A and B are shown apart, each in its own frame.
Chain A
Amino acid sequence: MAVNEDFQGRSYPPTPPFAVGREHIRDFAEAVGATDPIHHDLEAARAAGYADLVAPPTFAVIPGQRTDRQFVADPEAGVDYTRVVHGEQRFTHHRPIVAGDELRGILHIDAIRAAGGHQMVTMRSEIVDADEQPVSTSLSTIVVRGGE
């Protein structure tokens, strides 16, 4: 099975809204060892000038991967998930994600290319809030390992 190169250049409609919850932020922060009180303590977050608990810098991967999944889980795309390794990741934050945000992602398949027996797919998720304002751009490259 190989990735269907016809998907290069394809875009998807916005995902359903993803509601960012305080406990989700706290749990994610704990999982990556993020101890800044603005992830955990509402008063600390507000004292620092934020509307609510602030998500750690890589939390955007959650809405980002939900957005990316439209491609990865599409049977027509031909991706064997057990052969997927994350190659590159970049986030450009237009503002921090905070609890209470309702995020939608718009997926663009920027590139599909062969490299050393593997295939590399670059997915760009433009994450926007309920007012359609930009929140984060997630640029993810996955490596789909070739068969033996």
Chain B
Amino acid sequence: MREQSVRQFSDVTEGESLPSRTIPVTRAHLIHYAGASGDRNVIHWDERTAQAVGLPDVIAHGMWTMGAAIQLVTDWVGDAGRVLDYGTRFTKPVVVPHDGGASLEVAGTVKSLDADAQQAVVELTVTSSGEKVLGRCRATVQLD
């Protein structure tokens, strides 16, 4: 049974902040994601290949970052099936060193509301080592 219900449109205000979070990422996460997603591009797990094409080190799949960041929104909505639209630009790679990995800082704000459709647009701010890694990262969700 569900432990939480879907967020009510009437409980949401424009400009409100979602609870922010820190998400760790290591090489092991990237290997798991490569297998689960089928994106086995070697730049996400082999540093020699990554460096040979001019990257500083192994980088996270942009899609892993995008997929991890949206959890802030789905947890807030209370139903992961309520994401109608989700888009972003991958502005900077998340460099994942062998030792210690990296982390994402994810924050979100309700950017706009549509009362007729009971939908909200949430803007996510996603940084790693102080640099913005996702740009124009926005999700439209269906509330109750």
Check if B90 sits within 8 Å of A93, measured CB to CB: no
Cβ-based interface call for B38 (8 A)? yes
Inside 8 A of A54's CB, which chain B residues have their CB? 80-81
Check if A89 sits within 8 Å of B66, measured CB to CB: yes
Binary A-proximity of B85-111 (CB < 8 A = 1, otherwise 0)? 111111001000000000000000000
Binary B-proximity of A35-59 (CB < 8 A = 1, otherwise 0)? 1111100011001101000101110
Q: Interface residue tally of chain A, by bracket?
A: 35 or more
CB distance from A33 to the nearest CB of B (A): 5
Docked Cα-Cα span, A94 to B33, in Å, equals: 25
Check if A28 sits within 8 Å of B37, measured CB to CB: yes
Docked Cα-Cα span, A39 to B83, in Å, equals: 14
7 CB < 8 A contacts A-B: A24-B36, A30-B36, A31-B29, A36-B75, A88-B88, A90-B86, A93-B84
**Nearest chain-A residue to B141 (Cβ)?**
A57
How many A-B pairs with Cβ below 8 Å? Answer: 123
CB < 8 Å neighbour of A33 from B42, B49, B71, B86 = B71
Cβ-based interface call for B117 (8 A)? no
Check if B62 sits within 8 Å of A89, measured CB to CB: yes
Check if A56 sits within 8 Å of B67, measured CB to CB: yes
Inside 8 A of A91's CB, which chain B residues have their CB? 85-87
**Chain A interfacial positions (CB closer than 8 Å to B):** 24, 27-28, 30-39, 43-44, 47-48, 50, 54, 56-58, 61-62, 65-66, 81-93, 96, 139, 145, 148
Inside 8 A of A36's CB, which chain B residues have their CB? 74-75, 79-80
Cβ-based interface call for B23 (8 A)? yes
Given contacts A88-B90, A91-B87, contact A43 B81 (CB under 8 A): no
CB distance from A129 to the nearest CB of B (A): 15
CB < 8 Å neighbour of B74 from A57, A65, A81 = A57
Given contacts A58-B70, A82-B42, contact A27 B36 (CB under 8 A): yes
Given contacts A65-B38, A88-B88, contact A31 B33 (CB under 8 A): yes
Docked Cα-Cα span, A62 to B61, in Å, equals: 13
CB < 8 Å neighbour of B86 from A30, A38, A58, A84 = A58
Inside 8 A of A50's CB, which chain B residues have their CB? 81
